Each structure stands twice: as C-alpha cells, then as structure tokens.
Structure 1
Amino acid sequence: MAQKDKIKWDKKYTEISFLLEDKLPSEKLIKIEKNVKGKKALDIASGAGRNSIYLAKKGFEVEALDISKVALDVLNAKGFENITCKLVDLDEYKVPKNSYDLIIMTNFLDRNLIPKLSNALKKDGILFIETYMEDKINEKPPSNSNFLLKKEELKTFFDESFEILDYDEFLNDDSELFKMKKQCIAVRKMV
C-alpha cells in the first residue's frame, strides 16, 4: 500500500470531520443509476461512502474501495449488509474484468485507472466519473494538475465501443468546502 497516501488520507479524515459527515449522493449519479441494468456496483475511492450508501439503499451489492481505513471504518459502522469495504491501494489493485454493472469514481482522478475500469464493466455496464477540472473559477488553493481534468478530457477516454449517456461541465454544489468546476461522464459499454 502507498503508505504515504494512506497516512495523508487517514490524517485528512481524522482532522477534517466535515469529510466524514453524512452527505447526499451525487445528483448526476441519481439520474444515471436509473439506467443500470444489473445490481453489482464498484465505488472507487469511496471515502465515507455517500454514493455507496445511496446505491445500497437502491438494492445494489456495492464494493467500496478506499486507501483510508478511517473513512472505511465510518462507512462500515453504518451496518449496510450489501456494502463490502475494501482497504486497497488503487495503484496496485487488480480490478476484475467483466464484473460490474456500474462503476463510479467521484472526486478522485487516476487517468491510468480509467481503461481498467472500462474493462471491469459487464456488457451494457455503466461507468460514471465525476471529478474536478481546471478552471479560473476554482477557489481551492492550487492543486496538482495531475488531479484536475482539462476541458472535455473525459470524452477522450472512450471509443465507439462506449455510448455516452451524459456529459457535463458544471459548478459543484454548496456541500463541498470550495467552489470548484467539475466534469462528469456516464458511458455504457456496448460490447
């Protein structure tokens, strides 16, 4: 496990209690979830699980992956039988191929992981990504550009074997600490 990242995120969750508070799921995910044909979901970098909890309440069997034991302990303590928490380093984790009806990755970006997530979808499975992008309106102190999308970048990860169900660039809502521009995409695997 990337010990440095684990320490950083455990510390962040311990020191900023806001991050562990119950939050509403992504509004974009709520709209997309209705298009999912099966009930097996994967939540990448789940944190305390706002989206995992939403999906569990909708009847999904959810695997919630994160590097922070602190965040996963909070999620696990909520007692959802259909959420399995896994402490993983996503740099090393082998995502099983053709296994999920829905994969979500929100407020986290690892460009190298996107092709692996695409391969982990079953036919007709949906990949939903929502995260931050570069924009002059962003209020958060300068971030590492490796963790910010360029304009329309999410579209570049998918070829004709995927159908784009939704794409948007928008301002985040008031539930986050800083005003930031976000980008999201939902694609269906066609083959």
Structure 2
Amino acid sequence: MNWDERFAGADYYYGTEPCAFLRREAWRLARGAEVLSVAEGEGRNAVWLAAQGLCVHALDASAPALAKLQALATERGVAVATEQADLTRYIWPVEAYDAVLGLFIQFAPPTLRAALFRGMAQALKPDGILFLHGFSVRQLANSSGGPRVAEQLWTLDDLRAAFLGWKILHQGDYDADLGEGAGHAGRAALIDFVVRKPAETQGTAR
C-alpha cells in the first residue's frame, strides 16, 4: 500500500470525524492526559481528542497525511504534535504516555504487529490505557474496508494473548455499519480492546 498516494487527494479518505469506538471510550481519559496515536493518518481521531482537552502526539509514515492532519487541526482550532515515523524502525519512548491508541492499524503482518504492540506497551506509563480498534477476521466476508489478508485481521483471543497480565476494561467482537469516508463504508466486523497496563512489570506485550 502506498499511503502517500492514498492520502494525496483533497478529500479525507476516512472522513474527518472520529471513529465511533473512540467517541464511546474516550471518557476513560482525563483532560490534559498525554496520548500517543499510532499510524494516525489524516488526523480525524487525533484532532477530535485534542478538542476534548487532551495532549495528542500523532505518528504516521505519510507526509501528505500529516499535512492534512495539521490543516484539520487548524480548521478546528486545536494543536496536535505530529511526527513522521517509519514504524518498522521507530524508537519507542519509555513510559511517556497516559494512553496509546492503535485504531485501524492493520497494515502490519504478525511479526511487525508484535513489534508494534511491544513498542506501544513500552510507551505507556504504568496504569496507562491501551486502546485498540479494528477489523475482526470476520471482516473478510465484507467489502467495507480493511486488508484482504486474514493474518492482518484480529481476534480477541489474539489480543488477549498479546497482553497477558493486563486488566481488560472493555472488549468486543461485533458488527456495525461504518460511514467513515470512502475508506470505511458499509457493514463491518469490528474488534474493540481496551486494557490497562499493570503498575508492575510482570504484564508485558508479547
């Protein structure tokens, strides 16, 4: 996937409004919390979080996506820190954020996904919250978005195994209708997974 080409147009490929999952779950974050959004894209989720009073740092590999993010932030009158980053080589900070978001980050095959999960876990402070949301393996039966490769899709069993020892705050595998720009449109099979990092080091991403 060439993400620069996908995000080069004037339209926002996934729309400009946050995903419904984030609207439902953001109540868990205190105003002023430091949040890292991984593979944020054109900014719809990061900009909305900033408007709720959160301090957001958005990572993405695509310069056109980050430019559109900043344009959207300016339009909405908020500030979002952005960083162009190759996530295959990214040096993750240590215990820097109150929350980390991975929303529709299913470009990663299993080996890279495991590395991303380890990095996201490292970036969270103890007691910090990880928000994961994306497509279930059942999404292969739909045409509303997401990769057409089963190994890049998620199951709750896989996510629970990846974060053994973490406290599960919310989980779900369900169907819903998406209306998120041209990229996510129609009936979809979705996964929610919200977990709290242990205060001690025994719970680590695998």
Hey, what does 1:100 align to over in structure 2? Answer: 97
Q: Counterpart of 2:159 in structure 1: which amino acid?
A: L
Secondary structure of the residue that 1:52 maps to in structure 2?
helix
- Structure 1 portions without partners, runs of 5+: none
TM-score in terms of structure 2 length: 0.79
Hey, what does 1:132 align to over in structure 2? Answer: 135
Q: Counterpart of 1:56 in structure 2: which amino acid?
A: A
Residue-pair matches, total:
183
1:126, distance to aligned residue in structure 2 (A): 0.4
Alpha-carbon spacing, 1:137–1:20, altered in 2? closer, same or farther (3 Å): closer
Could you tell me how far apart the structure 1 residues matched to 2:26 and 2:62 are?
26
Contact 1:137 1:179 in 2 (8 A): no
1:74, distance to aligned residue in structure 2 (A): 0.6
Sequence identity, in percent?
Answer: 27
- Structure 2 portions without partners, runs of 5+: 200-206
Could you tell me how far apart the structure 2 residues matched to 1:43 and 1:105 are?
6
1:140, distance to aligned residue in structure 2 (A): 5.2
1:177, distance to aligned residue in structure 2 (A): 2.8
Alpha-carbon spacing, 1:75–1:184, altered in 2? closer, same or farther (3 Å): same
Contact 2:156 2:172 in 1 (8 A): no
Aligned match of 1:68 in 37, 56, 62? 62
Could you tell me how far apart the structure 2 residues matched to 1:173 and 1:140 are?
9
Alpha-carbon spacing, 1:66–1:131, altered in 2? closer, same or farther (3 Å): same
Contact 2:156 2:171 in 1 (8 A): no
Aligned pairs for 1:114-125 (under 5 A) are 114-125=117-128
Could you tell me how far apart the structure 2 residues matched to 1:88 and 1:146 are?
24
Hey, what does 1:159 align to over in structure 2? Answer: 164
Q: Counterpart of 1:182 in structure 2: which amino acid?
A: L
Secondary structure of the residue that 1:90 maps to in structure 2?
coil
Hey, what does 2:152 align to over in structure 1? Answer: 147
TM-align CA RMSD? 2.2
Alpha-carbon spacing, 1:21–1:140, altered in 2? closer, same or farther (3 Å): closer
- Divergent runs of 4+, >3 A: 15-18
Contact 2:12 2:42 in 1 (8 A): no
Deviations 1:28-80 (A, max 9, x none): 22232222246100111101111101110111111111111111101112325
Could you tell me how far apart the structure 1 residues matched to 2:141 and 2:9 are?
27
Could you tell me how far apart the structure 2 residues matched to 1:14 and 1:128 are?
27
Hey, what does 1:183 align to over in structure 2? Answer: 191
Alpha-carbon spacing, 1:20–1:73, altered in 2? closer, same or farther (3 Å): farther
Could you tell me how far apart the structure 2 residues matched to 1:124 and 1:149 are?
24
1:137, distance to aligned residue in structure 2 (A): 3.2
Alpha-carbon spacing, 1:151–1:104, altered in 2? closer, same or farther (3 Å): closer
Q: Counterpart of 1:189 in structure 2: which amino acid?
A: K
TM-score in terms of structure 1 length: 0.85
